[in-house]
Each structure stands twice: as structure tokens, then as C-alpha cells.
């Protein structure tokens, strides 16, 4: 029985990891079209294709999953393991797409732009990176939660995804998984880059949990009256 449970658990986590890789791949594809389009508004709108695909096919994206850590209760340890797998899977997916794009003719057209984007991010102050990451995490939770609420209607659900993504890109907020792709296609990975990605992950995590934590304490205060 223990062996069967272990195999079931392994299969479950393997599925999560695979879905996380696929999510990373689609963020990479979305990042590629964003870099390829000169108009930033159009690019931001098209980038939302990545998150919409992830939500429609139930792939696993770290910034879409972290917000629900606050409501896991007794399942928190298992959810933390899943989050680590999702983060690692997203990294694998974005790195794979970034490496392949770098080896293609597309890279010639986006090389200077992605290098400039990466330089701005990697030379920003840590405090600024954290702040911008918190804002992005907040928007990602709103996008995912809105899409999950079918009672809101399809127009609002889909519009929320596209608007939240466009807003975080046009505002210059930091998305740790999208940046994994940019750093991969620009071949900018080193210890400094990893530290900044971890800082962005922290900020995205804080932002993603703000609303569910606020809801939890608000509901607790109402129930205690």
C-alpha cells in the first residue's frame, strides 16, 4: 500500500512538473511575440496569449498558483512542494524556448531589444525590483481568480486576463517567469541573475497572497462578531 501511494504521489508530482514545463514554454512563446512586435501596446496584448493558454489548458504557472497558498490549511506542506516543482518546471520551459529561439533567425531581430530589457532589470536596485514584483503578483492573482469565477461571465473573465497582463507589462512590473525567458534568450544567467529572479519570485509571492490573505482575515473578523 505504501509503495502504491508513493507511486501515485510520484505520478501526481510528475504531472505537475510536466504541466509547469508547458506553462513555461507558452510564457516563452508569449515573450517572443512581445519582443518581435515594435508597438508596446500590441505586444502587451499579445503576451496575454500565454496566460490565457495556460488557464484554458490547466497548465501550472507559479505566479498563478502562489496566491492560493494562503488558503491551503493542512495541505500547505504538499502545496509548497508543488510550488517548488512548478517554479522549476517553469524555469525548464522558459529556458528551453529561450535557447531554441536564440538558435533561430528570430533572435537576430530581437537581440538588441532583449539585451536592453535584461540590462535594465539586472541593474535596477533590489528594493525597486521587489516593489515592482509585488505589483505584478497582485495583478496575476486578479487575472487567475477572475478567470476561475465562471459566474462573472466569459467577457469579464477573458478581458480581466488580457487587461491584467497588459497592465503589468506596460507598467514595467516584474514577472519572475517571464524574466526567466528573457534572461534565457539573452544568455544572461549567472549568480546575480539567479538572485534577482529569486527576489522577483519573492515579490510575486507577496503580491499574489495579498488579496487572499486580506479576504481570510476579513472573513475571520466577520465570523467572530
Q: Alpha-carbon distance 185 to 61, whole Å?
A: 19
Joined grid coordinates for residue 77: 506542506
CATH number at residue 39: 1.20.1080.10
How many domains, in total, are found in the chain?
A: 1
Residues 29 and 73: beta-carbon distance below 8 Å: no
Q: Which domain holds residue 138?
A: 2-223
pLDDT tens digit sequence for 189-222: 999 999 999 999 999 999 999 999 887 777 665 5
Please write the tens of the pLDDT for every residue from 146-181: 999 989 888 999 999 999 999 999 999 999 999 999
pTM of this prediction?
Answer: 0.92
Helix (H, G, I), strand (E, B) or coil at 72: coil
Amino acid at each position: 500500500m505504501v509503495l502504491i501511494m508513493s507511486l501515485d504521489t510520484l505520478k501526481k508530482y510528475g504531472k505537475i512538473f510536466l504541466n509547469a514545463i508547458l506553462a513555461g514554454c507558452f510564457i516563452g512563446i508569449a515573450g517572443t511575440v512581445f519582443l518581435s512586435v515594435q508597438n508596446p501596446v500590441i505586444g502587451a496584448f499579445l503576451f496575454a496569449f500565454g496566460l490565457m493558454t495556460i488557464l484554458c489548458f490547466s497548465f501550472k504557472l507559479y505566479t498563478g498558483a502562489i496566491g492560493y497558498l494562503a488558503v491551503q490549511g493542512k495541505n500547505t506542506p504538499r502545496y509548497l512542494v508543488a510550488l517548488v516543482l512548478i517554479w522549476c518546471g517553469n524555469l525548464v520551459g522558459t529556458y528551453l524556448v529561450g535557447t531554441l529561439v536564440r538558435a533561430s533567425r528570430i533572435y537576430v531581430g530581437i537581440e538588441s531589444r532583449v539585451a536592453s530589457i535584461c540590462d535594465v532589470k539586472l541593474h535596477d536596485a533590489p528594493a525597486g525590483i521587489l516593489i515592482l514584483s509585488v505589483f505584478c503578483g497582485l495583478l496575476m492573482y486578479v487575472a487567475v481568480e477572475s478567470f476561475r469565477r465562471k459566474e462573472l461571465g466569459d467577457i469579464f473573465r477573458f478581458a480581466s486576463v488580457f487587461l491584467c497582463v497588459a497592465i503589468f507589462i506596460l507598467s514595467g512590473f516584474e514577472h519572475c517567469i517571464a524574466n526567466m525567458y528573457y534572461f534565457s534568450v539573452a544568455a544572461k544567467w549567472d549568480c546575480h541573475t539567479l538572485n534577482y529572479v529569486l527576489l522577483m519570485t519573492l515579490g510575486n509571492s507577496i503580491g499574489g497572497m495579498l488579496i487572499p490573505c486580506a479576504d481570510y482575515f476579513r472573513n475571520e473578523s466577520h465570523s467572530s462578531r
